[in-house]
Structure 1
Amino acid sequence: MTEPAAPEPVNLADAAVEVLRAGVLTTVQDLGRPGWAHLGVPRSGALDPAALRLANRLVGNPESAAGLEITLTGCDLRPTRATTVAVVGAEADVRVGQRPGDVGRPLAVPAGAVLRIGPARRGVRCWLAVAGGIAVAPVLGSRATDTLAGIGPAPLRDGDLLPLGTPVGPPAPIDLTVPVAPPAELRLAVRLGPRHDWFTPAALDRLLGTAYQVSPLSNRVGARLTGAPLPRAVAGELPSEGLVLGAVQVPADGQPLIFLADHPTTGGYPVIAVLDDVTPLAQARPGTTVRFHGPQR
């Protein structure tokens, strides 16, 4: 497996973003590195690709440009050149120096001004785009941080300097975007997985007929759920086999685990179902209710 490229030193005189407060988890993300699963490397990338694409369009970047994914507690940044930024995603207070800014619109940030993104009031994650994109060295064609495999740049720390690319287009001529608040209950469409026959009929009825809650142990690798355990019909060990984004795996405790962007590419627990879309889980706080629906058996 390719080792992560060491970040090149960044001089404050160059175009960069200085990380004053990294928050609980802020990572560099783009649209990921598809096509490497055969080498054990998952796609990774933004948990909500549409949100990152929107942020990039707002500042005039290509949709594939790297930005920041900011988790729950926000972060404080200071650019060394005047730039344009956009923050989309969770509901949070944004300030540029002493003035308030809006989520979901281009914001001008003077050189040396502090950009403060506050804690998420609703939802979990914000995505920040900066004109020119975050220009860290790509690994396997992507600048995304993979928190499981350790590929790409490390999660941000206080004092980090992130190089900026050259802007290629003007900010979007837009005054605002309409935010969509995360629902209190998620309804997720699933298809039966490759090992659904390893579970009892009662397990499948529970999966499609009862409510689960998002566990505080969830992260970019997977959303752990708590609720009615899913009993097995087949006891014994399953050889490791391939996993995909959205696979609903059931470990020994019977509690479903939904794999997200940084999921492993193989696993040894049976997959009872596969989600059509994992994006809603990007903003699901611990305690959020999850209900599955799918085809009749």
Structure 2
Amino acid sequence: MSACDFSRGDKTFVIERLSPSKSIVDFDSTLSLLVESYISSETNNWCMGYSVPHQYTQKKLNPLFDETSDSVKRRVDDLSWLYAKVLKLYALQKPEFYRVRDKETRKQVSMLIVRKYDSKRKVIEEGGGGGGIFDQLKLGLAMIPLRLGFDTYNKIMKHGESGNLVHKMYSSKTGEHKRLDFVCTKPEYQGLGLSSTLIKRVCSDADAEGWNLYLSTSDRRNQEFYLRFGFKWVGECEGEGGFITAGMSRRPKGEYDGGVEMVGKVALEKKGDDVFSWIFSVGVIMVIIYMSNFK
């Protein structure tokens, strides 16, 4: 773990980079930070209709939520359930974890998750595996209940198609890279530039280590924000319900190789991936049934 201090006004903070083996070590604190940061965000409107255990319909809620205590509590419960699922899936990928802690209280107040991808690895949210048969078997088994509909996380996967397509479009052209996820800061610490400090640190590490960086966002204002750090627009595509996701990339030291093809071809390739994933899941079930007959 590498750490250094910095100041903002009268407060002193510690920025840390945790190795993959130590990532998301404080699960409850990380979960709480995510929920607090995103509880009022319009970008989470889809969470209410697509993933919550309280409501299985795919109808979006508008307005986002009313101000009654029951509604707010339900939304906190829903987001806690959602992000607990996401963090557990991310943990399988052993991501790097950047965080900022208030030096006085020692609590983490800002965070950023960085996941490593290469051209042979499919996104775990879609249930795909890595390059090896054992990775495919492990993830195939893990995703069976989701694909069969026993868990509402399958709705999140379907709704996240646009982001996954942009990711595939980028990784298939540029190979190994790291993806930035969940840049967030506790509400009472916002406005101090903590998220910017985290992103600058990641970009500095990427320059020193020669990493391509990638991110996806559905907010136009965020695209303008990331341009300041040397990111360039890659492309965008539309997912279920008209949800638009844009991809942005950054090469080491701000270098950029010019753009990539748009998503049409990748969307066709994804259909083939889905067919393979279903066949593989069915195959795993048949193997389990076959093996159980020998017990």
TM-score exceeds 0.5: no
Normalised by the length of structure 2, the TM-score is: 0.26
Higher share in strand:
1
TM-score normalised by the chain length of structure 1:
0.26
